[in-house]
Amino acid sequence: MRGEFLDLDGARIYYYAAGTRGAGNPVVFIHGFPTSGHLWADVVPLMPPGHRLVVLDLLGFGRSDRPMQRAIDVRAHGDRVVALLDQLNIKEACIVGHGVGGGIAQSVTVRHPERVSHLCLVDSVAFSRWPTFLARFGRALAPAAALLPPSSVLTLLRRELSRAYSDPIRATRSIDIFLRPFKGTEGRDALLAHARALRADETTAIAPRLGGIGVPAAVLWGRNDRITSLAVGKRLHASIPAATLTVIHDGGHFTPEEAPRQIADGVAALLRR
């Protein structure tokens, strides 16, 4: 496994590659808000051999650069995923997205279908159903939050994220990693910029095009997801013609961390289709 930075339009995007190249399709893993590629750390080692695995930190998250004035909506993130494929000489790939990363995966699939061999949506945002805490941060809370100490903003977000984990020890460890880029005044401002830029109207606009997705697709969902409910997963399953639905009975929202075997097995089954 190796990690490095790519320059995409003047911004450094961090990614790491794992797995083994073979006859199988490459797999690209996309995290959501406010996480990072760390989300997939336990899934990657469980993936079947013969696939090139690429895990990235979206612009503004993890080790990647802060966005500054660059666009950070779903469409812009999707365009950078395609640019990453170009730089890595990947013609097409299985795109796996979690949370907001699932919205980005949908955007890439409907706008660049020739670059997507398979689509996997894990506890994904979709339609008009987005995390309520993201809406609060992006709109109602944002004006006041800009006046709060950065530590107070992180405390509020930490509280919201902790509710989505069943294991408090894992929650503390992972959330600490996810929130590192958002410490200090500049980090707080970047966090609020993300929240303002990520809007449900983007996936609402994508929804009518889901029926045109022709690649094999899988919807993987935690039954106890308190961020994006299972009802969203069932609707995605019904909307994408070639989709299957797998419910992880003990899973919450962060299934790649809390149920990595089920997620890896679900992606592996999708790749065999």
Q: What is the mean pLDDT of residues 203-230?
A: 97
Half-sphere exposure of 168 (CA within 13 A, CB side): 1
Q: Are 79 and 202 in contact (CB under 8 A)?
A: no
Q: Structurally, how many domains does the chain consist of? A: 1
The confidence score (pLDDT) of residue 23 equals 77
Per-residue pLDDT band for 257 (boundaries 50, 70, 90) equals very high
Is the confidence at residue 140, as pLDDT, over 60?
no
Task: Tell me the average pLDDT of the chain.
Answer: 93
Say if 61 falls within a structural domain: yes
Write the CB contacts of 143 (distance below 8 Å, at least 6 apart in sequence).
Answer: none
Domain enclosing residue 47, as ranges: 2-130+201-271
User: What pLDDT was estimated at residue 162?
Assistant: 94
Mean pLDDT confidence for 136-151: 67
Return the structure tokens found at 68. 């500054």
CATH number of the CATH domain containing 46:
3.40.50.1820
Instruction: Put the strands of the sheet holding 11-19 in their side by side order.
Output: 2-8, 11-19, 52-56, 27-30, 93-99, 116-124, 217-222, 243-248
Model pTM? 0.95
pLDDT in tens, 37-79: 999 999 999 999 999 999 999 999 999 999 988 999 999 999 9
**Which pLDDT score is estimated for 119?**
98
Residue 218 located in a structural domain: yes
Banded model confidence at residue 241, pLDDT cuts 50, 70, 90: very high
Residue 147 belongs to some domain of the structure? no
